[in-house]
Amino acid sequence: MTKKNQTLGEFIIENQKAFPYSTGELSKLINAIRLAAKVVNYEVNKAGLVDILGSSGDINAQGEDQQKLDVLANEKFIQSLTNREIVCGIASEEEDDFVVINSKDNNHQNKYVVLFDPLDGSSNIDVNVSVGTIFSVYRRITPIGTPVSIEDFLQPGRQQVAAGYVVYGTSTMLVYTTGFGVNGFTLNPAIGTFYLSHPNMQYPKDGRIYSVNEGNYVHFPVGVKKYIKYCQEEEEDRPYTSRYIGSLVSDFHRNMIKGGIFIYPKSSLSNNGKLRLLYECNPMAFIAEQAGGRASDGYKPILDVVPTELHQRIPFFCGSENMVAKAEEFIAKYN
C-alpha cells in the first residue's frame, strides 16, 4: 500500500520488510544510488554557473568525447557505491574495463555488481536539456570470496535484480524496479528528499508518439522506414506525433507516461545502432517490461540477449506493447 508523502527511504525499508530473509544489501545499494543521484543532481543544476560545461578533453571507451559532467557523475556514483562497500564490482559506460571493488577486511564477500551509464544524453547538457543516469544490478554468478570476473557482468538482462534511472529534468526523478513493478520518486530540492510521486507506473498498451532520429532515415533498414511511414499515414488514429529529445532517459520517461515507441535501429552507418546493451538497453527493457511495455532488438526481447562484451551495442525498439509489436511485424516482413 502506498502512503501519502512516503519518502524513498521509507519505501525502501517497507519493501525490505516484505522479504523477511533479505539481508538488506540491495536496500543499501539503492540507498547509495539515491545519495549519488542527489549529488549529481546538485552538480547538473549549477552546471551553467561554474566551469563544468563542455568537453573534458578525453575520449571514453567507445571513442566518444567525454564531457566534464560525464566524468564527474561517473566519479560520484563509483564513490558512493565504493564507500558503502556493498558491491563487488562496477562497470560503467565511461570506463574501459570493469572495476573490482573490495576492501582489506571484506574479502570479496559482496554479492552484487552494478552497471551504469553515469550521464546519458550528456551532449545535451550544454544547451540545458534533460539528461539522466541509468543503472542495472545483478547478483554475481562467480563464487563469493573470489574477485568478480567478466561473466558476472555479461549476464542476460533477464537476470537483473534491479534497474532504474534518474532523470535530471524540470523535476528530478528516480524511477526504479526490483522486479515487482515500477515506482517513481520526485526530488523536493528544498529539503533534498525523494517522495513517491508515481506509484506502480504502467506503460499504456498503445500510444501515439514515435521517437527516432529521423535525420538518419536514409540509412535505416527497409522495415524501419516502412514502420516510420506507417506512423505518418493518415489512417485510424494516425498520423502519430513525433517527439525526439535525443536523451534516452527523457524520451523513455515521456513515452512510459504518455504511450509511445522509442527506436534506435541499426543503420548503414552502424550495424548495431548506437545504444549500449548493458548500460542503456537492458535496464530500460527491464523497467519497460515491469511496467507492461515491451523492448526488443527488432526480433527478440532485449532481456533474452546473451551479452558477449561490456560495451556491446544493439538496435533498440522500446515502448508501448502494441507499438513495439507492430514495428517487429514490419521488420519481419521487409528485412
Residues at the interface with ligand AHM (CB under 6 A): 64, 93, 117, 120-123, 213, 246-248, 274
Which one-letter amino acid corresponds to residue 262? F
Q: Which is nearer to Mg ion, 111 or 266 (CB)?
A: 266
Q: In whole angstroms, how close is the CB of 248 to ligand AHM at the nearest point? A: 3
Known binder of ligand: residue 119? yes
For the record, the C-alpha cell of 37 comes out as: 543521484
Cα–Cα dist 14/21, whole Å: 14
The residue count for binding Mg ion (CB under 5 A) is 2
Q: Which is nearer to ligand AHM, 102 or 270 (CB)?
A: 270
Q: Write out the E strands in the chain.
A: 55-59, 65-67, 87-92, 99-100, 112-120, 131-139, 162-168, 172-177, 182-188, 193-198, 209-211, 241-242, 260-264, 294-296, 316-319
Q: Which is nearer to ligand AHM, 120 or 152 (CB)?
A: 120
Known binder of ligand: residue 93? yes
User: Cα–Cα–Cα angle for 155, 158, 10, nearest 5°?
Assistant: 105
Whole-angstrom CA distances from 150 to 55, 74, 115 are: 30, 20, 12
For the record, the C-alpha cell of 170 comes out as: 524540470
Question: Among all residues, whose Cβ is closest to Mg ion?
Answer: 120
120 binds Mg ion (CB under 5 A): yes
Known binder of ligand: residue 280? yes
Q: Which does 74 bind (CB under 5 to 8 A by kind): Mg ion, ligand AHM, none?
A: none
Cα–Cα dist 214/53, whole Å: 27
Q: Which is nearer to ligand AHM, 28 or 311 (CB)?
A: 311
Whole-angstrom CA distances from 20 to 23, 28, 33, 49, 178 are: 9, 16, 23, 47, 16
Q: Cell 524520451 maps to which residue?
A: 251
Q: Which does 274 bind (CB under 5 to 8 A by kind): Mg ion, ligand AHM, none?
A: ligand AHM
- The span of 18-26, 48-56, 66-74, 119-127 binding Mg ion (CB under 5 A) equals 119-127
Footprint on this chain of Mg ion (rule: CB under 5 A) = 117, 120
Binding residues: 93, 117, 119-123, 213, 244, 274, 280
Binding residues for Mg(2+): 93, 117, 119-120, 280
Binding residues for substrate: 120-123, 213, 244, 274
